């Protein structure tokens, strides 16, 4: 075949590269962030056969030049071809089973198509191409009739010797024949779904990299980084290969245990500490409710500190109730109804703020917590104390002094839970909690900027042994929430849970662990100096902006955890602020509108402005979403948040070069300045908020 050339090696001034097409082409090619990277597979374009699409197994993908004039079409076809090559490589010696490659590539490409933006799909609507037509038909994979897939053989010219869909393939295709970006939003709940225009979920982020946005939203959720996405995408390829070689179940269990062992290494935990993954922090609360019920025969009271700054579904979960209308395993349930098998329990809420919206003092919170525990203990009930370290606005409670005072209570039956969902802790902090017998709840999706919905419980050795010895089973209704594989395999209590694996949860945790690992590779001296440098700048920048008012003012964090050593939990890393217009605080609705505008390209509203203003309006800025807080104790408003995330440090540490490190942090400090300027720009154009 003549006139073939590697696609990377050509850029001719054809109509494709006219001015109006370049920006669109660049945007489409950005989706190659989500296409697997396969070694030694060349993508070649053919001018002699402009309509050709051919897969040369283990070598190349040949695509006709006419495809490139329709970039979305080319993207979909190349996604199919690269996926096919990925599965073909995974076959190892079983190269005759090419029908598996056909089916898996088709399924992945079909999901990939569904995740395209609406305007990209519209460009494919009137095209008559074999693969596009098949994808549009949206038929489920029919493993019983492999003959229907023979038409796909034309792409590669190989005949599949195997005419039977092997049973061993079924779980592999069901779990791993999905694009990585889909897996990162799978096995959670509907809040992870993305819209069809901006491809953003409820938290304003994507399940694939979004490098064009300035992102300081770690108090809420963050789009996955290029680095973590690539690592997780590579893991999917390894899992496909291992599943075909060793069996799906063995490969998956090995992967799950590897993730847990990696977490233990990162936080320097002993092997006796058990880790339970969960789809979200709220699911972790439900797991705690279940565990508490099976280890205590007493009536139970949960004392929930910071009830106004924890997840909105946590109170319902602790009471053993459905907290959404859909579970992580995609069962339809009714929010608020009791989950089958849970006993009635009491819940005492202790919010950070009083009925007027004023923040309580640390001593006032300590007294409320102590009184609640004391009175509950007098009733002979088992207490589950949920402490906060740290909340979504950066607070902690109760104090260590109050925790020591609990020793004065007689016959106290208590289990302490540390809500460390923000995970703004050092490894020694987690170790200290576990040594005291506390259960620690964490997520990988806040400080460490993994994809949203990666929760976990870390249980100390003493609690793990107690649960292991119990012969009670978990509440029956949890079969709609968790698989048996989510729990420690040796525990009797989880034996009745369903078979299966939550690959979405595993993949999100893989991405989070990747972020943790590279964060801790930054030397501690430079890491801590970078943290102080960045946080000091954010605090000063908010104070200097006349239209912003820090929620915290000059107060220190609500804690009494004093230490001479630097600790991430002992400095403020979340910076909430009110927004003022003409010295009046914005309403809740306007704060939420501003948040959305800030995270969007609004340059079309400033077409007649200077280039500087247009660029500022175009910049997408993702910060922590609105939290309702009263202003001046009587005006209903909300705060937004700029937060330090681990990536500020890890993405600045390059090639062990100290000077580049601090310059990279300064670049991110400049991004904070841009964010504040864009807030000012929006306020200067009040029609945007109408």
Residue 10: the pLDDT is 65
| Separation between Cα atoms, residue 476 and residue 315, nearest integer Å | 20
Residue 165: the pLDDT is 82
Q: What's the rounded mean pLDDT across residues 622-638?
A: 93
Residue 552: the pLDDT is 82
3-state class of 577 per DSSP? strand
Q: In which band, very low, low, confident or very high, does the pLDDT at 558 lie, cut at 50, 70 and 90?
A: very low
Residue 260: the pLDDT is 95
Count other Cβ atoms within 10 Å, centred on residue 430. 22
Question: What are the C-alpha distances in Å from 340 to residues 319, 503, 571?
Answer: 12, 25, 43
pLDDT digits (tens, 9 = 90+) for 389-405: 999 999 999 999 999 99
Residue 21: the pLDDT is 63
3-state class of 589 per DSSP? helix
**Rounded (to 5) percent helix, strand, coil in the chain:** 45, 15, 40
Main-chain phi, psi angles of 173, to 5 degrees:
-65, -45
Question: What are the C-alpha distances in Å from 445 to residues 84, 178, 221, 330, 350?
Answer: 31, 22, 6, 21, 25
Question: What are the C-alpha distances in Å from 402 to residues 158, 328, 362, 364?
Answer: 72, 37, 10, 11
617 in Cβ contact with 605 (< 8 Å): yes
| Separation between Cα atoms, residue 280 and residue 421, nearest integer Å | 10
Asked whether residue 564 carries a pLDDT value surpassing 70, the answer given is: no
3-state class of 93 per DSSP? coil
Q: In which band, very low, low, confident or very high, does the pLDDT at 554 lie, cut at 50, 70 and 90?
A: very low
Residue 545 falls in which region: left (phi positive, over 0), alpha (psi -120 to 50) or beta: beta
Hunting for tokens 């904070």 — which residue is that? Answer: 672
Strands 4-6 and 42-46: antiparallel
| Separation between Cα atoms, residue 473 and residue 398, nearest integer Å | 33
| Separation between Cα atoms, residue 617 and residue 608, nearest integer Å | 12
| Separation between Cα atoms, residue 162 and residue 574, nearest integer Å | 57
pLDDT digits (tens, 9 = 90+) for 489-504: 889 999 999 888 999 9
Q: What's the rounded mean pLDDT across residues 44-59?
A: 91
541 in Cβ contact with 676 (< 8 Å): yes
Asked whether residue 553 carries a pLDDT value surpassing 70, the answer given is: no
Termini Cα distance of the chain: 60
**Hey, which of 84-88, 481-485, 554-558 has the most confident mean pLDDT?**
84-88
| Separation between Cα atoms, residue 371 and residue 368, nearest integer Å | 5
Hunting for tokens 């990279």 — which residue is that? Answer: 664
Count other Cβ atoms within 10 Å, centred on residue 97. 18
Question: What mean pLDDT, rounded, does the chain reach?
Answer: 91
Q: How far is CA 94 from the centre of its chain?
A: 36
DSSP per position, 255-275: HHHHHHHHHHHHHT--TTSEE
222 in Cβ contact with 206 (< 8 Å): no
Q: How far is CA 386 from the centre of its chain?
A: 23
| Separation between Cα atoms, residue 418 and residue 432, nearest integer Å | 11
Strands 574-581 and 635-643: antiparallel
Question: What are the C-alpha distances in Å from 590 to residues 200, 581, 622, 626, 640?
Answer: 20, 11, 16, 10, 11
**How many percent of the chain have pLDDT more than 90?**
77
543 in Cβ contact with 665 (< 8 Å): no
pLDDT digits (tens, 9 = 90+) for 147-187: 677 888 889 988 776 677 889 999 999 999 999 999 999 98
Residue 473: the pLDDT is 93
652 in Cβ contact with 661 (< 8 Å): yes
Bigger pLDDT: 486 vs 562: 486
Asked which of 5-9, 178-182, 258-262, 676-680 is least confident by mean pLDDT, the reply is 5-9
Residue 634: the pLDDT is 84
| Separation between Cα atoms, residue 318 and residue 302, nearest integer Å | 7
605 in Cβ contact with 179 (< 8 Å): no
Bigger pLDDT: 13 vs 680: 680
Q: Name 584's Cβ contacts closer than 8 Å, sequence gap at least 6.
A: none
pLDDT digits (tens, 9 = 90+) for 99-112: 899 999 999 999 99
3-state class of 439 per DSSP? strand
| Separation between Cα atoms, residue 148 and residue 43, nearest integer Å | 28
Residue 143: the pLDDT is 59
Q: How far is CA 649 from the centre of its chain?
A: 19
Residue 653: the pLDDT is 96
Does the pTM surpass 0.75? The reply is: yes
pLDDT digits (tens, 9 = 90+) for 339-356: 999 999 999 999 999 988
| Separation between Cα atoms, residue 181 and residue 170, nearest integer Å | 21
Bigger pLDDT: 427 vs 2: 427
Q: In which band, very low, low, confident or very high, does the pLDDT at 1 lie, cut at 50, 70 and 90?
A: very low
**How many percent of the chain have pLDDT more than 70?**
92
């Amino acid at each position: 075949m003549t006139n073939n050339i590697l696609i990377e090696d050509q850029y001719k001034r054809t109509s494709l590269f006219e001015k109006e097409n370049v920006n669109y082409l660049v945007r489409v090619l950005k989706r190659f962030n989500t296409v697997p990277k396969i070694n030694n597979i060349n993508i070649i374009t053919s001018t002699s056969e402009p309509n050709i699409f051919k897969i040369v197994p283990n070598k190349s993908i040949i695509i006709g030049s006419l495809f490139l004039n329709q970039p979305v079409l080319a993207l979909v076809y190349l996604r199919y071809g690269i996926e096919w090559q990925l599965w073909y490589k995974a076959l190892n010696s079983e190269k005759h089973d090419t029908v598996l490659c056909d089916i898996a590539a088709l399924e992945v490409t079909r999901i990939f198509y569904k995740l395209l933006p609406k305007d990209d799909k519209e460009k494919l609507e009137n095209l008559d191409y074999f693969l596009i037509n098949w994808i549009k038909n949206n038929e489920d994979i029919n493993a019983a009739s492999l003959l229907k897939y023979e038409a796909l053989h034309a792409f590669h010219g190989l005949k599949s010797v195997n005419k039977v869909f092997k049973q061993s393939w079924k779980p592999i295709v069901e779990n791993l024949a999905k694009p990585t970006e889909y897996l990162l939003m799978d096995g959670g709940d509907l809040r992870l779904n993305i819209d069809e225009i901006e491809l953003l979920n409820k938290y304003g982020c994507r399940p694939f990299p979004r490098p064009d946005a300035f992102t300081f939203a770690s108090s809420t959720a963050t789009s996955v980084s290029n680095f973590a996405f690539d690592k997780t995408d590579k893991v999917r390829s390894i899992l496909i290969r291992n599943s075909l070689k060793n069996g799906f179940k063995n490969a998956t269990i090995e992967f799950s245990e590897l993730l847990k062992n990696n977490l233990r290494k990162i936080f320097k935990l002993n092997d006796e500490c058990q880790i339970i993954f969960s789809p979200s922090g709220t699911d972790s609360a439900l797991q705690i409710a279940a565990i508490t019920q099976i280890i205590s025969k007493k009536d139970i009271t949960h004392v929930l500190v910071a009830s106004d700054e924890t997840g909105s579904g946590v109170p319902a979960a602790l009471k053993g109730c459905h907290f959404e209308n859909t579970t992580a395993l995609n069962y339809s349930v009714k929010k608020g109804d009791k989950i089958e098998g849970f006993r009635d329990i009491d819940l005492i809420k202790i919010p950070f703020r009083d009925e007027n919206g004023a923040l309580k003092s640390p001593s006032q919170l300590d007294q409320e917590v102590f009184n609640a525990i004391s009175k509950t203990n007098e009733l002979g009930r088992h207490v589950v104390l949920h402490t906060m370290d740290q909340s979504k606005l950066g607070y902690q409670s109760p104090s260590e002094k109050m925790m020591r005072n609990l020793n004065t209570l007689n016959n106290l039956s208590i289990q302490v839970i540390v809500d460390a969902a923000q995970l703004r802790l050092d490894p020694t902090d987690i170790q200290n909690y576990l040594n005291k017998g506390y259960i620690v709840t964490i997520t990988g999706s806040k400080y460490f900027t993994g994809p949203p919905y990666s929760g976990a419980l870390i249980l100390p050795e003493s609690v793990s042994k107690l649960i292991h010895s119990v012969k009670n089973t978990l509440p029956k209704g949890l079969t709609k929430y968790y698989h048996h594989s989510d729990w420690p395999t040796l525990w009797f209590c989880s034996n009745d849970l369903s078979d299966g694996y939550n690959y979405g949860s595993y993949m999100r945790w893989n991405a989070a662990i990747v972020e943790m690992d590279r964060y801790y590779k930054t030397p501690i001296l430079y890491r801590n100096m970078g943290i102080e440098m960045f946080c000091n700048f954010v605090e000063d920048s908010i104070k200097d902006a006349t239209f912003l008012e820090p929620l915290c003012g000059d107060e220190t964090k609500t804690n009494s955890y004093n230490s001479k050593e630097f600790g991430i939990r002992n400095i403020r890393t979340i910076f909430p602020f009110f927004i003022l217009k003409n010295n009046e605080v914005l309403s809740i609705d306007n704060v939420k509108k501003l948040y959305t505008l800030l995270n969007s390209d609004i340059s079309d509203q400033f077409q007649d402005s200077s280039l500087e203003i247009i660029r500022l309006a175009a910049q997408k800025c993702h910060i922590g979403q609105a939290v309702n807080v009263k202003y001046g104790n009587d005006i209903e408003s909300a705060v937004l948040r700029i937060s330090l995330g681990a990536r500020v440090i890890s993405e600045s540490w390059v090639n062990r070069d100290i000077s580049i490190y601090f310059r990279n942090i300064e670049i991110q400090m400049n991004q904070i300045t841009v964010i504040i300027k864009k807030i000012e720009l929006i306020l200067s154009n009040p029609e945007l908020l109408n």
